[in-house]
Amino acid sequence: MALIVQKYGGTSVGNPERIKNVAARVAKYRAKGDQVVVVVSAMSGVTDNLIKLAKEIMPLPNEREMDVLLATGEQTTIALAAIALHSLGLPAVSLTGAQAGIVTDGVHTKARIQNITPQKIHDLLNEGNVVIVAGFQGQTTEGQVTTLGRGGSDLTAIALAAALKADLCQIYTDVDGVYTADPRIVPGARKLEEISYDEMLELASLGAKVMQSRSVEFAKKFGVVFEVRSSLNENPGTIVKEETKNMESVVVRGVSLDKNQAKVTLVAVPDKPGVAARIFKAIGDSNVNVDMIVQNISHGSGAPATDLSFTVDKPDLLKAQKVIDGLKEEIGFGKVISTDKIGKLSIVGVGMKSHTGVAGKMFDTLAREGVNIDMISTSEIKISVVIDLAKGEAAMRAVHAAFLG
Ligand code: ADP
Ligand code: ASP
Ligand code: MG
């Protein structure tokens, strides 16, 4: 008998038929004597729709209220999934994040899990129930509803697998596993049998939304091995685990494109100590994550000034602009130019540690495609470039063909 955590994403619970399929799959594991904890997302499109509704009322809605709103999506599916299991004659109980003992900090819309008290889940399992937990949500110690950032049901599943010391953690989605690139954009992408935490983490943070990046971070920290697989068939998926020796023989494991970034450029920022610190401290204090930062060399006559560009997640752009506007007088920069028409294209692979010439090949491929590179950033296992959004997908296919074709 094994204890299994299974997570089903939005498409996998997208309509009553799909929810019945989930129940049938769970029933198969129960019939083998396994204990099953099911984590579900909101039905596909529901979270986006709730956000849209709120923004129709006000462009920057209060984040506490957004969490109260968004948590309803998952609350619908836990009940429907429990009802689907009941229809098969299986005892099942649905739990909200709070009821499941998921305690988070108070950073609304991107809360971090602080601890999980899984006693209630264990008790319900031991009474013979399938336990269905709402993904993406938790509660602060003061009883405030929180959510864990977009795609956060993955994190719920991985964190529960760690807290429950589950034997198996399966992430069911609408593709067969983790591919060398998003198969919807790159038809030639191939499914990977396995991938290291670090590579998965980079791909996820760089736009491969098949896994939420924080969930991969968590899995690495607590050593949770998990499988990404399809809820629509029985094909084996992709195992995500610690790096093994032979993984380094592959230079580039995958290519990703993040279309969810925006760029802010401050023109003519005074080039003197403390200015960058002031800007990024204020942005950090508003809980906006800054990714890439590029500062040009000083220009102009008179007092030295420079242009400073940085990227943020698209949904944070308004918030970042507001913070920057508030600093204009104090710091005294020129105009602010923002655009969300950028894409961040990245290649990832632990093999880059031991191979050279990778950046040159990537830039050469982009040059041949007529793609201009706006910003560059690298780490030991990735190279990212910011490019024009309109050319993003074609550039991704070209780079995939060059390294993985
Ligand atoms: P779920 O609702 O199950 O959480 P998501 O939509 O969040 O599913 O993630 C699955 C999607 O991720 C796939 O449909 C696919 O288009 C996309 N995707 C992006 N990059 C990759 C990749 N490298 N491998 C597999 N899928 C990817
Ligand atoms: N429903 C949430 C979202 O769409 C969480 C998830 O699907 O994992 O982001
Ligand atoms: Mg997802």
Mean pLDDT computed over 250-274: 95
In a domain, 68, yes or no: yes
Range of the domain at 114: 3-174
- For the CA of 42, the closest atom of ligand 2 is 1
- For the CA of 154, the closest atom of ligand 1 is 4
Which ligand is nearest to the Cα of residue 174, counting in written order?
Answer: 1
CB-side neighbour CA atoms (13 Å) of 127: 10
- For the CA of 178, the closest atom of ligand 1 is 24
Distance CA 336, CA 10 (A): 38
CA 332 to each of CA 194, 197, 266, 285, 300: distance values in angstroms, whole numbers, following the listed order? 51, 43, 10, 20, 15
Type of residue numbered 42: A
- For the CA of 228, the closest atom of ligand 1 is 25
The whole-number pLDDT of residue 246 equals 84
CA 176 to each of CA 16, 52, 69, 209, 269: distance values in angstroms, whole numbers, following the listed order? 22, 30, 31, 14, 48
Q: What sign has the CA pseudo-torsion 246, 248, 253, 258?
A: positive
Q: Which of 38, 179, 194, 209 to mutate to test the pocket of ligand 1 (most atoms within 8 A of CB)?
A: 209
Helix, strand or coil for residue 355?
Answer: coil
pLDDT tens-digit series, residues 156-188? 999 999 999 999 999 999 999 999 999 999 999
From its phi and psi, is residue 15 left (phi > 0), alpha (psi between -120 and 50) or beta? beta
- For the CA of 48, the closest atom of ligand 2 is 4
Mean pLDDT computed over 233-262: 94
The Å distance, Cα 151 to ligand 2 centre, comes to: 4
CB-side neighbour CA atoms (13 Å) of 394: 12
The Å distance, Cα 142 to ligand 1 centre, comes to: 34
- For the CA of 156, the closest atom of ligand 2 is 8
pLDDT tens-digit series, residues 80-127? 999 999 999 999 999 999 999 999 999 999 999 999 999 999 999 999
Residue 301 has pLDDT above 70, yes or no: no
In a domain, 237, yes or no: no
The protein residue whose alpha carbon is closest to atom 4 in ligand 2 is 47
The whole-number pLDDT of residue 8 equals 98
Number of other residues whose CB lies within 10 A of the CB of residue 330:
10
pLDDT tens-digit series, residues 309-337? 999 999 999 999 999 999 999 999 999 99
Residue 302 has pLDDT above 80, yes or no: no
The Å distance, Cα 11 to ligand 3 centre, comes to: 9
Which ligand is nearest to the Cα of residue 179, counting in written order?
Answer: 1
The Å distance, Cα 249 to ligand 3 centre, comes to: 29
In a domain, 115, yes or no: yes
Distance CA 18, CA 7 (A): 14
In a domain, 274, yes or no: no
pLDDT band at 23 (very low <50, low <70, confident <90, very high): very high
In a domain, 103, yes or no: yes
In a domain, 297, yes or no: no
In a domain, 124, yes or no: yes
As for ligand 2, residues whose beta carbon falls within 6 Å of it are 9-10, 41-42, 47, 73, 135-136, 150-154
Place of tokens 């970042």: 320
DSSP for 282-312, written as a single string: HHHHTTPPEEEEEEPPPBSSSS-EEEEEEEE
Which residues are CB-neighbours of 159 under 8 A, at least 6 positions away?
Answer: 102, 113, 116, 215, 218
Counting the structural domains of the chain, the total is 1
Helix, strand or coil for residue 240?
Answer: strand
For the domain that residue 21 is a member of, what is the CATH number? 3.40.1160.10
The Å distance, Cα 278 to ligand 2 centre, comes to: 34
In a domain, 88, yes or no: yes
The Å distance, Cα 8 to ligand 3 centre, comes to: 9
The whole-number pLDDT of residue 247 equals 86
As for ligand 1, residues whose beta carbon falls within 6 Å of it are 9-12, 41, 151, 173-175, 178-179, 181-184, 203, 208-210, 254
